[in-house]
Amino acid sequence: MLQKLNEYMIQQSQKPIGELASEEPDWDNALYFFVSDPDPARELGLFCGFEIFPNRGISRATYHLRHRGEQYRAMTIAPLAGELGPVLVSGFFRFECLDPMARWRIEIEDAEKEVSVALDFAARCPAYAHRHVRLPGAYAEAIDQRHYNQSGRLRGTLRVGGETSRELVGMKNRSWGVRSWHRLPMYHWTTAQFDDFSVNTWHFEDQDGSPLFVDGAITTEKGEVVPVTAVEHELELHPGSVKRVRARRMRITTARDEVLHLEGREIGSIPLAPLPDRFSEASPGQWAAAEAAALWFEQHTSFRLGDQRGIGFVEHCVAPGCRRHGIAPTAFPYLDPAAPRPGAAAPDRGR
Per-residue pLDDT of 239-255, as tens digits, reads: 999 999 999 999 999 99
Domain borders along the chain are 25-317
343 closest CA partner among 105, 71, 109, 2? 71
Distance CA 49, CA 62 (A): 6
Cα gap 337→54, rounded to integer Å: 12
Measured distance CA(245)–CA(237) in Å, rounded = 4
CA distance 231 to 189: 11
Q: Taking the chain, what is the end-to-end CA distance rounded to the nearest angstrom?
A: 35
- Give 76-102 pLDDT, tens digit per residue: 999 998 778 899 999 999 999 999 999
pLDDT of residue 341: 56
In eight-state DSSP terms, residue 7 is G
Give the predicted TM-score (pTM) of the model. 0.94
pLDDT over threshold 70, residue 15: no
Cβ-based neighbour number of residue 302 at 10 Å: 17
Is 225 in contact with 236 (CB distance < 8 Å)? no
pLDDT of residue 351: 31
Cβ count within 10 A of residue 180? 16
User: What is the full DSSP assignment across 173-209?
Assistant: EEEEEEE-GGG--EEEEEEEE-SSEEEEEEEEE-TT-
Query: Who's near 261: CB < 8 A, 6+ residues apart?
Result: 249, 250, 251, 252, 305, 306
3-state secondary structure of 6: helix
Asked if pLDDT for residue 200 goes beyond 50, the answer is yes
State the maximum Cα–Cα separation within the chain, in Å, rounded to a whole number.
54
Mean pLDDT of the chain: 93
Instruction: Write the pLDDT tens digit of every residue in 291-309.
Output: 999 999 999 999 999 999 9
Backbone angles phi, psi at 112, to 5 degrees: -60, -40
Q: In sequence order, what are the beta bridge partners of 263?
A: 249, 304
Q: Would you identify the CATH topology of the domain 25-317?
A: AttH-like fold (2.40.370)
- H helices present in the chain, as ranges: 284-293
Distance (Å, whole) CA 328 – CA 319: 8
| Bigger pLDDT: 181 vs 287 | 287
